[in-house]
């Protein structure tokens, strides 16, 4: 095969193999990456597998970076923040049992750290679903709704992303896109609605409700609510496991595949 500059022309090359099947199952791939792409050349009888990249300038240095999966990034933050919040809440509980009173001044830092971490877990749990919804909507999709005055309103994809709440995207738009039943009757749905409600109270905070929010976050078992996002995602992932937006680690390690006569059709040779 000719020599190609994969990083400049197709992305970050992770595998070049003989035949039409890549070796990616043997790779230790960071699950925060987007799913890989493969190009098979009939003439060369080789397959190139790569990740999409983007170019940026950092401190006046040009750099090419692998494109992350926004859903995976959100889920990663969720898992790390939740794990930390569990540890911090245990410290808070142990401190209260020991002192048999309110949290002492020198222990307040633990409580505030807990609030930060549970905030992050809730916000990015919801963001993972929101990102999936927006990525799943076709570019030419139109959402029609009749308002209270009987007027039909038509929303384009950018307008859907901005104005339609995530739970409505899940129940009124994605079932049509994925050709599946609406998720309202699933066990996880009430937990997700609670997640949406708590997330909105955090992001769109009102001064009179702030104290109530803190009480709820420290006294309630937040695990079913926080991880309801994963149940929602898994429900839709199961409907189309090869979807390019599904993060690595879900739905099997699939990849996008393109067959060409020769690599030169789409890849420019590297000039030394």
Q: What percent of the residues of the chain are helix, what percent strand, and what percent coil, each to the nearest 5?
A: 50, 15, 30
Q: Give the model's pLDDT for residue 159.
A: 97
- Which sign, positive or negative, has the C-alpha torsion 142, 144, 71, 249? negative
Q: Give the model's pLDDT for residue 7.
A: 36
Q: Give the model's pLDDT for residue 240.
A: 82
Q: Give the model's pLDDT for residue 160.
A: 97
Pairing of strands 53-58, 61-66: antiparallel
Q: Give the model's pLDDT for residue 3.
A: 35
Q: Give the model's pLDDT for residue 142.
A: 96
pLDDT, tens digit only, all 272 positions of the chain: 333 333 335 678 888 889 888 877 767 788 888 888 889 998 989 998 888 888 999 999 999 888 899 999 999 999 999 999 999 999 888 887 776 666 667 778 898 999 999 999 999 999 999 999 999 999 999 999 988 899 999 999 999 999 999 999 999 999 999 999 999 999 999 999 999 999 999 999 887 778 888 999 999 999 999 999 999 999 999 888 767 788 877 766 666 778 888 887 776 655 44
Q: What span, in angstroms and rounded, lies between the C-alpha atoms of 207 and 210?
A: 5
- List the strands of the sheet with 12-18, edge to edge: 12-18, 46-51, 37-41, 256-260
Contact 67, 12 (CB under 8 A): no
């Amino acid at each position: 095969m000719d020599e190609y500059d994969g990083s400049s022309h197709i992305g970050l090359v992770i595998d070049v193999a003989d035949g039409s099947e890549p070796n990616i199952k043997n790779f230790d791939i960071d699950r925060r990456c987007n799913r890989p792409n493969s190009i098979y050349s009939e003439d060369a009888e080789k397959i190139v597998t790569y990740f999409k990249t983007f170019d940026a300038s950092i401190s006046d240095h040009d750099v090419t970076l692998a494109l992350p999966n926004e859903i995976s990034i959100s889920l990663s933050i969720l898992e790390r923040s939740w794990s930390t919040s569990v540890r911090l809440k245990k410290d808070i509980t142990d401190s209260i049992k020991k002192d048999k009173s309110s949290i002492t001044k020198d222990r307040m830092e633990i409580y505030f750290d807990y609030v930060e971490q549970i905030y992050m877990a809730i916000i990015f749990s919801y963001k993972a679903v929101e990102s999936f919804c927006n990525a799943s909507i076709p570019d030419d999709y139109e959402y029609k709704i009749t308002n209270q005055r009987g007027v039909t309103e038509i929303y384009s994809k950018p307008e859907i992303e901005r104005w339609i709440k995530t739970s409505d995207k899940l129940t009124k738009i994605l079932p049509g896109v994925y050709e599946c039943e609406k998720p309202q009757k699933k066990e996880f749905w009430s937990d997700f609605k609670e997640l949406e409600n708590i997330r909105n109270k955090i992001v769109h905070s009102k001064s009179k409700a702030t104290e109530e929010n803190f009480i709820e976050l420290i006294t309630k078992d937040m695990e079913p609510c926080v991880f309801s996002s994963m149940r929602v995602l898994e429900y839709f992932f199961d409907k189309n496991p090869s979807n390019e937006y599904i993060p690595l680690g879900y739905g099997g390690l699939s990849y996008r595949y393109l067959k060409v006569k020769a690599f030169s059709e789409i890849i420019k040779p590297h000039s030394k």
